[in-house]
């Protein structure tokens, strides 16, 4: 049985790990700093470039992992990820459209609306929030939007192409305090709300019948939780582009270690996901200096083999347990 003590203890050492990753990420980059310089807040590179970027990677990783947990619980599908209902392809189409229209500075806004509109469309078409019809509608929409994206890209000039590609491959290089501070309240409120619902997620993940007979209005809560989670994902996608595999691999790692109770699964996924993207982005910035590779490429390169390793080890994705 889960106790508050276990949650606090586990989260403390994960937080400690996150703090170390945070410091290392600030220290390393195109310009490398000594440990003394890391705490020198008069340094412009540290305060206005490094720190916002590292914080963004933390937020993106944490939010995507959380979104993965919630989607898996509500769709009752261990292979669901934040992008399963068309959020990513919607965002890609939106941002490419912004580029084609010459509105590059509005790229995040277009991406946000692209993402959010696709999820609203899926919820509207699937009518009932049963997991099968949602996933099917999501898959179909993903196909449709992928062809639309290809169409847009074939119409684009080389400069527009490169600008779209950077976004589609996922990058944290557009970060600034300005945008981050504007979106931070929405992100934090969504995360807190979803954590508040963690026990509810335990019940919802049992299935509709069970949840109903335990007094939970399944349709209502599924809809609320899906909307909030998609809102969170759409914000993250608009900030960072498509960073794949985080929302799949992190929740499963956390399930594997700490079990499927959402009261511990959510905080551990948040902390683990934040650390993971922070490390991945630091590697993306430093591995091939002076070039920077897209962080989305790196998370997939690390994520896919990890996934296969879990499978080979005999990890059962259906019951999410060794």
Helices (H), 214-294: 218-240, 246-258, 262-286
In the complex, minimum distance from the CB of residue 125 to other proteins, in angstroms, rounded to a whole number: 18
Residue from 212, 287, 289, 308 that binds other proteins (CB under 8 A)? 212
- How far is 189 from 13, CA to CA, in rounded Å? 24
Nearest-approach distance from CB 4 to other proteins, in angstroms: 6
Query: How many Cα atoms sit within 13 Å of 147 on the Cβ side?
Result: 5
Structure-token match 């399963």, residue found: 84
Select from 112, 118, 108 the least CA-distant residue to 234: 112
State which residue, 53 or 255, has the beta carbon closest to other proteins.
255
291 scored as a contact of other proteins (CB under 8 A): no
Q: Is 127 in the site for other proteins (CB under 8 A)?
A: no
CA atoms of 322 and 319, how far apart (whole Å): 8
Q: Which of 136, 188, 214, 257 binds other proteins (CB under 8 A)?
A: 214
Q: Answer yes or no whether residue 219 interacts with other proteins by CB under 8 A.
A: no
Choose one: 74-82, 100-108, 112-120, 222-230; the region binding other proteins (CB under 8 A).
Answer: 74-82
If you compute the radius of gyration of the chain from its CA atoms, what whole number of angstroms results? 19
Asked if 216 is part of the footprint of other proteins (rule: CB under 8 A), the reply reads yes
Q: Which is nearer to other proteins, 176 or 322 (CB)?
A: 322
Pick from 147, 199, 305, 311 the residue near other proteins by CB under 8 A: 199
Q: How many CB atoms are located within 10 Å of the residue 181 CB? A: 10
Which of 120, 143, 176, 207 is in the footprint of other proteins by CB under 8 A?
207
Question: Quick check: 61 and 268 in contact, CB under 8 A?
Answer: no
Nearest alpha carbon to residue 168 among 261, 71, 91: 91
Whichever of 78 and 106 has its CB closer to other proteins, that residue is 78
Site size toward other proteins (CB under 8 A) is 37
Distance CA 129, CA 60 (A): 26
The end-to-end CA distance of the chain, in Å, is 19
Neighbours of 230 (CB within 10 A): 27
Residue number, 28 or 202, with CB nearest to other proteins: 202
- CB within 8 A of 220, min separation 6: which ones? none
Told to check if 76 binds other proteins by CB under 8 A, we report yes
| Interface with other proteins (CB under 8 A), residue from 133, 202, 301, 306 | 202
CB 267 within 8 A of CB 6: no
133 binds other proteins (CB under 8 A): no
- Pick the piece of the chain touching other proteins (CB under 8 A) from 29-37, 147-155, 252-260, 273-281: 252-260
Minimal distance, residue 250 CB to other proteins, in Å:
15
**Nearer residue to other proteins within complex by CB, 175 or 253:** 253
User: How far apart are alpha carbons 168 and 297 in whole angstroms?
Assistant: 10
Query: Does 13 interact with other proteins (rule: CB under 8 A)?
Result: no
CB 111 within 8 A of CB 240: no
Question: Which of 196, 257, 289, 308 forms a contact with other proteins (CB under 8 A)?
Answer: 196
- The reply on whether position 224 binds other proteins by CB under 8 A is no
Stretch binding other proteins (CB under 8 A), from 40-48, 95-103, 273-281, 312-320: 312-320
Question: Can you spell out the DSSP letters for 80-134?
Answer: --TTTTSHHHHHHHHHHHHHHTT-GGGHHHHHHHHHHHHHHHHHHHT-S--HHHH
Interface with other proteins (CB under 8 A): 1-4, 72-73, 76-78, 196-200, 202-203, 205-210, 212-217, 255, 259-261, 263, 318-321
């Amino acid at each position: 049985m889960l106790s508050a003590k276990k949650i606090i203890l586990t989260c403390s050492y994960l937080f400690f790990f996150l703090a170390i990753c945070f410091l290392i990420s600030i220290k390393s980059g195109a310009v490398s700093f000594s440990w003394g310089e890391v705490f020198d807040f008069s340094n412009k590179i540290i305060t206005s470039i490094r720190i916002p970027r590292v914080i963004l990677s933390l937020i993106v990783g944490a939010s995507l992992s959380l979104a993965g947990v919630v989607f898996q619980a509500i769709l009752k599908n261990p292979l669901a990820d934040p992008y399963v209902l068309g959020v990513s392809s919607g965002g890609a189409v939106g941002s490419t459209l912004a580029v084609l229209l010459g509105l590059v500075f509005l790229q995040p806004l277009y991406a946000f609306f692209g993402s959010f509109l696709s999820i609203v469309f899926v919820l509207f078409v699937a009518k009932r929030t049963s997991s099968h019809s949602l996933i099917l509608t999501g898959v179909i929409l993903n196909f449709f939007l992928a062809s639309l994206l290809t169409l847009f890209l074939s119409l684009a000039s080389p400069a527009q192409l490169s600008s779209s590609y950077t976004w589609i491959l996922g990058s944290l290089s557009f970060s600034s305090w300005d945008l981050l501070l504007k979106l931070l309240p929405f992100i934090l409120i969504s995360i807190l709300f979803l954590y508040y619902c963690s026990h509810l997620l335990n019940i919802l993940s049992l299935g509709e019948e069970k949840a109903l007979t335990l007094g939970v209005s399944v349709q209502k809560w599924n809809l609320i939780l899906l909307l909030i989670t998609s809102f969170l994902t759409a914000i993250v996608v608009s900030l960072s582009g498509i960073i794949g595999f985080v929302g799949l691999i992190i929740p499963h790692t956390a399930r594997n270690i700490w079990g499927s109770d959402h009261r511990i699964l959510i905080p551990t996924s948040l902390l683990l996901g934040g650390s993971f993207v922070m490390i991945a982005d630091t590697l993306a910035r430093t591995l091939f200096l002076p070039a920077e590779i897209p962080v989305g490429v790196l998370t997939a390169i690390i994520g896919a083999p990890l996934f296969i390793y879990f499978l080979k080890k005999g990890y059962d994705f259906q019951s999410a347990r060794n």
